[in-house]
Amino acid sequence: QKEVEQDPGPLSVPEGAIVSLNCTYSNSAFQYFMWYRQYSRKGPELLMYTYSSGNKEDGRFTAQVDKSSKYISLFIRDSQPSDSATYLCAMSAIYSSASKIIFGSGTRLSIRP
Amino acid sequence: EAQVTQNPRYLITVTGKKLTVTCSQNMNHEYMSWYRQDPGLGLRQIYYSMNVEVTDKGDVPEGYKVSRKEKRNFPLILESPSPNQTSLYFCASSLSLSGQGAKETQYFGPGTRLLVL
C-alpha cells in the first residue's frame, strides 16, 4: 500500500465550477501537508501549505486537513482555464534529524472554457 | 531572480554511457533533493542532501550517485545508465527540512527529460 494515495484523474470540469481534489494517507506521523501545482513541461510549484488539521484559505483556493480520517483536500472555487494543471499533494513528518516529503502521484485537472 | 537550474533539459543517451545532470540554486538553501517523475508513480525521491558533504538515500537510489561539494550545486550522476532510468528528473531545494513549517517549501527546477536507449 502506498503511503499517499491520489486519484490520477483526469478530471475535466467547466469554467466556474468548484473543484475538489483529494488525497488519503496511511502514516499518522505526517504533520505538514502541501499542495503543488505542475503545469505541462514545468517543475512543481507550491500552492498551499497547512500544518496539522484544519482549513487554510488563499484566494480561490482552500486546503483542508482531517487527520482523524487521514484525508486532505484542495478546493478551487470559480475555476479558470489557467487552473488546468496537474495537482500533487505532498506531506511530511519528522524522523530523528531529517524530514522526508512524500508526494502523491498527481491529479490532472482540465478546466473547459 | 531566485531559481533552481538544471542542465541539460533534454538528453538521449545509450545504455552504459556515464552521464551527469547538473543542478544549481542561487537561494543559499541548505537542503537539496533529486526526484524522478514517472506516469502513475508521481515524484519519487532519489537522493537528498541536508548540507555540504551530507547526502543520504531517498526511496529509489539504485543506479544513481550524488555529491555536494558546494552549497549551491548538487549534481546527479548515472554511472551506467539503463533503459529503466528513462524518466523526467527534477532537482529541488529548500531553506531547510527541519520540520519548521514553511522552511520546507521546496523550489523545483524545470526538469530534465532523459531517454536511455
- B4 and A43 within 8 Å at the Cβ level: the answer is yes
Interface with B, mutate which of A3, A7, A42, A101 (most B CBs under 10 A): A101
pLDDT digits (tens, 9 = 90+) for A4-24: 999 877 899 999 999 999 999
Taking one residue from A and the other from B, the number of pairs with CB-CB distance under 8 angstroms is 59
Position of cell 538515500? Answer: B57
| Number of neighbours of residue B60 by Cβ within 10 angstroms | 18
Indicate if the pLDDT at residue B98 is higher than 70: no
Q: Is A51 on the interface with B (CB under 8 A)?
A: yes
pLDDT digit string (tens) for A46-90?
A: 998 888 788 999 999 999 999 999 999 999 999 999 999 999 999
**Tell me, what's the pLDDT at B6?**
97
Q: What is the pLDDT of residue B101?
A: 54
Q: Residue B58: list chain A partners with CB under 8 A.
A: 100
Please report the sign of the dihedral spanned by the C-alpha atoms of residue B81, residue B60, residue A91, residue B95. Answer: negative
Q: pLDDT exceeding 90 applies to what percent of chain B?
A: 75
The DSSP symbol for A104 reads -
Residues of B in contact with A107 (CB under 8 A): none
Supply the pLDDT for residue B97: 61
Q: Is residue B89 pLDDT above 70, yes or no?
A: yes
Percentage of chain B exceeding pLDDT 70: 92
Tens-place pLDDT, residues B32-86: 999 999 988 889 999 999 889 999 998 899 999 999 999 999 999 999 999 999 9
pLDDT of residue B12: 97
For position A94, what pLDDT does the model report?
A: 66
A106 CB within 8 Å of a chain B CB: yes
Task: Return the pLDDT at B106.
Answer: 84
End-to-end CA distance of chain A: 37
Instruction: Please say if the pLDDT value at position A97 is more than 60.
Output: no
CB within 8 Å: B106 and A99: no
- Percent helix, strand, coil in chain B, to 5, is 5, 50, 45
Contacts of A49 in chain B (CB under 8 A): 101-102, 105
The confidence score (pLDDT) of residue A25 equals 95
Judge whether residue A106 has pLDDT over 90: yes
